[in-house]
Amino acid sequence: MSTFARATVSQNFLDDLYGRIARRYDLVNVVQSFGLLGLVRRAVARCVARGLVLDAGAGSGRFAAACLAAGASRVVCLDRSAEMFAVARAKLAAHEKAGRVRFVLGDVTRLPFADGAFENAGSVFVFRNIPGVDAAAAEMRRVIRPGGRLAVADALAPPPGVLGYFYKIYLNAVVPLWGRLLARDGAAYRYLAASIQKCISAQEFARLLAGAGFADVARKPKLGGIAHVVWGRVP
């Protein structure tokens, strides 16, 4: 399986999409999730906030800030989007621990770091939109030291039952509307909503991490199964 979601899009498509919505990305996320994504972000931070942490697909820097608040000594933020990094730099500039954050433009499928460079790594709401997620998982495994942990959170395939039914309605009808009203880009948010519905399940993602060489892989649903945190250890 070469992509986290079951539909394939080009990296250029994703670069353009995130560049367009960078300035309003956090606002739309807070509004459309009623602020609940912060709970998931902090849960991942608590899993990995020790020593030097890699924030893979750092975006606007909110997970990096959560890692610092949870006790990480330093955070390296990696992302492909210069527009997202412009937002992250502005947000983190006033942080009391801003000097402990470094920004690196790069691709998570080809990490520009030495083997075992990080004590832990995390990624929040990124993996489902990485073309070549198998390579990304293998690269994360390579740059984490033995005994270190990777924790990933994402909105995976919608849960079954009544909640899943109404969640799909929300994704298809409401999320693009928020995108159009707040970011003036309904098309971008139609894609992001569709990518959730086409994503692999938490069980499949756990198997993917195990296949990349992570041990003790476990998973936990969040927000009623709308999001999941999946983690594993480098043996």
What is the DSSP code (8-state) at residue 220? E
Residue 95 three-state SS: coil
Banded pLDDT at 5 (limits 50, 70, 90): low
What local confidence, expressed as pLDDT, does residue 140 receive?
Answer: 98
**Secondary structure of residue 233 in the 3-state scheme:** strand
34: left (phi over 0), alpha (psi -120 to 50) or beta: left
143-157 mean pLDDT = 95
- For 27-60, the pLDDT digits (tens) are 999 999 999 999 999 999 999 999 999 999 999 9
Q: Which of 137, 191, 156, 176 shows the shortest CA–CA distance to 10?
A: 191
Residue 2 has pLDDT above 80, yes or no: no
Phi-psi region of 146 (alpha: psi -120 to 50; beta: other; left: phi over 0): beta
Strand residues in the chain grouped as ranges (E): 52-56, 74-79, 101-105, 118-124, 144-154, 215-222, 227-233
Class of the CATH-defined domain 11-155+199-233: alpha beta
pTM for the complete prediction? 0.93
Map out the domains of the chain as residue ranges: 11-155+199-233
Residue 198 near residue 7 (C-beta atoms within 8 A): yes
53-110 pLDDT per residue, tens? 999 999 999 999 999 999 999 999 999 999 999 999 999 998 889 999 999 999 999 9
Q: What is the pLDDT of residue 7?
A: 46
Q: Could you tell me which residues come within 8 angstroms of residue 69 by beta carbon, excluding any fewer than 6 positions away? A: 42, 45, 49
Q: Which residues contact 162 (CB under 8 A, 6 or more apart)?
A: none
Cα(49)–Cα(31) distance, integer angstroms:
27
- For every residue of 22-45, DSSP letters joined together read GGGHHHHHHHHTTTTHHHHHHHHH
Determine the pLDDT at residue 94.
85
- The two tokens of residue 179 are 């995108």
